Amino acid sequence: MSNTVTSKVSVGDQAPDFALPSQKGEVVRLSDFLEKSMVVLYFYPKDNTAGCTTEACSFRDSYEVFKEAGAEVIGVSSDSEESHRQFAERNHLPFILLSDQKGALRKLYGVPTTLGLLPGRVTYVIDKQGVVRHIFSSQLGVDKHTTEALATIRSIS
């Protein structure tokens, strides 16, 4: 029926480290956050699309709750740093957006595509030891990414 890739990164796995540019042009690594905070790493298809804007604003609206619970939110798509900068400014996003222009991180984590075309929407909750504690994948349930991530973080802390 479909040849969607099953996740290469599974719950219980060590999350692969990465180094990608943010919307501010700084190189961000997963290892920069570990031991200090949990990380909500969410992959989304594209800046400035309806679903992705709704999802980003949902994370924005809960950002302080994530911070208080000891977690950092990081969004990833293949858009450019400039596109991310404009998207973050337009929507007042307080968290980091990473530019994975070649899709290497998406491939490394095994984020599937929908209908073989649209980059998948998957959220990973990573604990302070770098272990993936929860994975939520839903192209259409954009608000659920925030609630699923928050519930997992609360159960860990």
Task: Name every residue whose Cβ is closer than 8 Å to that of residue 47 and which is 6 or more positions away in sequence.
Answer: 77, 79, 83, 84, 86, 87, 97
Residue with tokens 């540019």: 21
pLDDT (tens digit, 0 to 9) for every residue of the chain, 157 residues total? 333 444 489 999 999 999 999 999 999 999 999 989 999 999 999 999 999 999 999 999 999 999 999 999 999 999 999 999 999 999 999 999 999 999 999 999 999 887 777 889 999 999 999 999 999 998 888 889 999 999 999 999 7
pLDDT score of 90: 98
Active site residues per annotation: 52
The DSSP secondary-structure symbol of 24 reads: T
Instruction: List the beta bridge partners of residue 40.
Output: 73, 125
Task: List, in sequence order, every beta strand (DSSP E) within the chain.
Answer: 19-21, 27-29, 38-43, 71-77, 96-99, 113-114, 118-119, 122-126, 132-137
pLDDT score of 141: 86
pLDDT score of 114: 75
pLDDT score of 30: 97
CATH T-level topology, domain 19-156: Glutaredoxin (3.40.30)
Computed on alpha carbons and rounded to an integer, the radius of gyration of the chain in Å comes to 14
pLDDT score of 115: 72
Q: What are phi and psi of 74, to 5 degrees?
A: -135, 125
pLDDT score of 4: 42
Structure-block tokens of residue 75:
């969004």
pLDDT score of 2: 34
pLDDT score of 140: 84
Task: Name every residue whose Cβ is closer than 8 Å to that of residue 136 and which is 6 or more positions away in sequence.
Answer: 122, 123, 144, 145, 148, 149
